[in-house]
Chain A
Amino acid sequence: MFNRIQTHLATATNRRRLNLAVLVIPATVWLFFFFVLPLFMVLLYSVLERGTYGGVEWQFTLSNYERLFNPIYWGVLGRSLWLALFTTVACLLVGYPLAFFIASRPPQWRNTLLLLVIIPFWTNFLVRIYAWIIILRQEGVINVLLSSLHLINQPLDLLFNSFAVTVGLVYGYLPFMILPLYATLERFDFALLDAAQDLGANDLKTFVRIVLPLTLRGIVAGSLLVFIPAVGEFITPDILGGAKTLMMGNLVQNQFLGARHWPFGSVLSIVMIVIVLIPILIYFRVADEKLKAN
């Protein structure tokens, strides 16, 4: 009898283990072949000589890293960081009030409003970015409208510059900011606003002391979701930025496809990975300390 119970327990445990394994195996296989292995290859390529027609020569070198000291690349790197940062802040300033608005509506309205935020996703990203050309170009919607109102004499230069790229980035990544912010704000207890006001806090103090700290997680999550892909963007600057507004993504693309310099392309990729890793590590450090403090 006792033995049978033991056997039964053993098989139950085994079955649970098996179930867990089945859950993680697909992701593990996927990540190994399409993330770990390619990452390792990028690391390896970055210290090899370039091949004449793309590819690599199997010869160790650090010269690819030395090329990074060229100020030209710093400019592109700086622009990427600056545009991504600006995009993140702009998305936050537009997205936070909107997420707050949606979360404070009656529950039956919230899903409809969220759907409106997500609907643009149903159209191809490329199409949506091309649409901005029609809006921003010299004979575009904005310029025609402004000149027909006699507000301007000459068409404004809205396209193929940092402005156009920023507009495209903010437009493209806004939902990534709104969704995590909404998820945080939806759980926010709005009775706390009454409590704060009751205790003498005006609107600004209520926001700074109560709302902001309690939604910080959503702000950080949304900012990471916008900043990380924005740094590596290459479609938006390629289409809206023209030749002048290169970002890191364009540079990487050029090195692999244009210049056929795979090793230097790998170096640039690694630089981007490091840049993106820094804010994530800071986030986890902060979150960790919060957890320990509580």
Chain B
Amino acid sequence: MKLAIELVDVGKTFQGQNQRDFRAIDQLNLQIRDGEFFSLLGPSGCGKTTILRMIAGFESPTVGEVFIHGEAMGDRPPFHRPVNTVFQNYALFPHLTVAQNVAFGLEMEGVPQTHIRSRVGDALALVKLNGLENRHPRQLSGGQQQRVALARALVKQPEVLLFDEPLGALDLKLRKAMQLELKAMQQQVGITFVYVTHDQEEALTMSDRIAVLSEGKVLQVGTPTEIYEEPSCRFVADFIGESNFLIGQVIEQANGGLVVLVDGELTLSVPYEPELPVGKVVTLVIRPEKVTIHPQTHSDPLALQGTIRDVVYLGTDTRFVVQLTSKSTLIIRRQNLHPGKLDTFTVGEAVKIRVAPNSMRVLPEGSLGPEAASGVLHLP
């Protein structure tokens, strides 16, 4: 597998005021494959933009090395790196027209004027901006400015294209449309995209692989499916999508499974291979859409007993909050597929709940990420 970008033991420390140093990145190792759409996902301040700026050459790592296509970058300045960036607020040159903005990078390369004109035309066609060549950036809408920024980077035909939250300033509808368009464009031009975002949905929609970051560390790298279905720690489970967390203790391990006692009152069987001692505290991660809710008359021996605490209609689906034990509640999402035929539940009603054992994920508590706020959990 050819690597587009490799970060080896990279650390970055910023010198702060009063001699207090801020360690933005710590011992980071990352491999980005050639031609993939790779997202760096994390909350603000997790260091994802710093990583991007180190790849682009705006920052140099305090320790470690950045490789681009196998070549160590060292202190090489941005203008000598085979990467281009689409900036957060586009950073278009306000005194130049759209065409001049896009042509700028080619002029810096010394491409002959005739070639520049045709390549600028191609790039603008790719982002569907033909006809706006002579406008100035301030005469364009946010979405159009975004496209100019994209064309300006694409026209250089870089080996790697870096994106620093490029869609953050757009409204929701436009953002969703651009996500799909960017993904399609990446498949069309076939260059490596490295995409920084704090929006988990955006990362899931577009990426081939995602690295989830927190406080300067990589918590998990994987495909969207892996990240969502098999989160490696509580932080990832909480940050990507919605999760229920049940805290329990192992009371038995047999036949490739665990029996877990939740809140001292409810026993659950979950498949789990690695050895865990009896008495070990574990966290069970349960996705709200993987739980089904049934009327009291339902006759499934594995069903659990619960009480409806809240019902919220959300259009595409309905969100139930169900009291499962005296300490824990469970959020359940049910798609509103055939509204007329669905059972209706009211607050206070006793219901039966079905959680498929293989849809629960066990996290040994040692892998708990930073404490994340969760309205579901009430630990003693």
Which positions in A face B, CB cutoff 8 Å? 189, 191-192, 194-202, 205, 209-210, 213-214, 294
Contact = CB atoms under 8 A, between A and B. Distances in A.
Given A195-B85, A199-B105, 15 more contacts: A189-B91, A189-B94, A194-B58, A194-B85, A195-B87, A195-B92, A196-B104, A197-B58, A198-B78, A199-B104, A199-B152, A199-B156, A200-B79, A200-B109, A213-B95
26 contacts: A189-B94, A191-B89, A191-B91, A192-B91, A194-B58, A194-B87, A194-B91, A195-B85, A195-B87, A195-B92, A195-B93, A196-B93, A196-B104, A197-B57, A198-B56, A198-B83, A199-B79, A199-B84, A199-B153, A200-B79, A200-B105, A200-B156, A201-B108, A209-B104, A214-B93, A294-B136
B95 A200 contact: no
A214 B95 contact: yes
Interface in B65-112: 77-79, 83-85, 87, 89, 91-95, 104-105, 108-109
Interface residues of B, number: 24
A20 B108 CA distance: 52
B79 A201 contact: yes
Contacts of A196: 93, 104
Nearest to B94: A214
- Which of B83, B85, B95, B153 has most chain A Cβ within 10 Å? B95
Interface of B: 56-58, 77-79, 83-85, 87, 89, 91-95, 104-105, 108-109, 136, 152-153, 156
Contacts of A202: 77, 79
B136 A199 contact: no
Contact of B93 (A192, A198, A200, A205): A192
Contacts of A194: 56, 58, 78, 85, 87, 91
B190 to A, nearest CB: 21
B79 A198 contact: yes
Contacts of B153: 198-199
Contacts of B57: 197
Given A192-B93, A195-B91, A205 B85 contact: no
Contacts of A201: 79, 104, 108
A294 B92 CA distance: 16
A22 B83 CA distance: 60
Nearest to A210: B93
B78 A197 contact: yes
Contacts of A198: 56, 58, 78-79, 83-85, 153
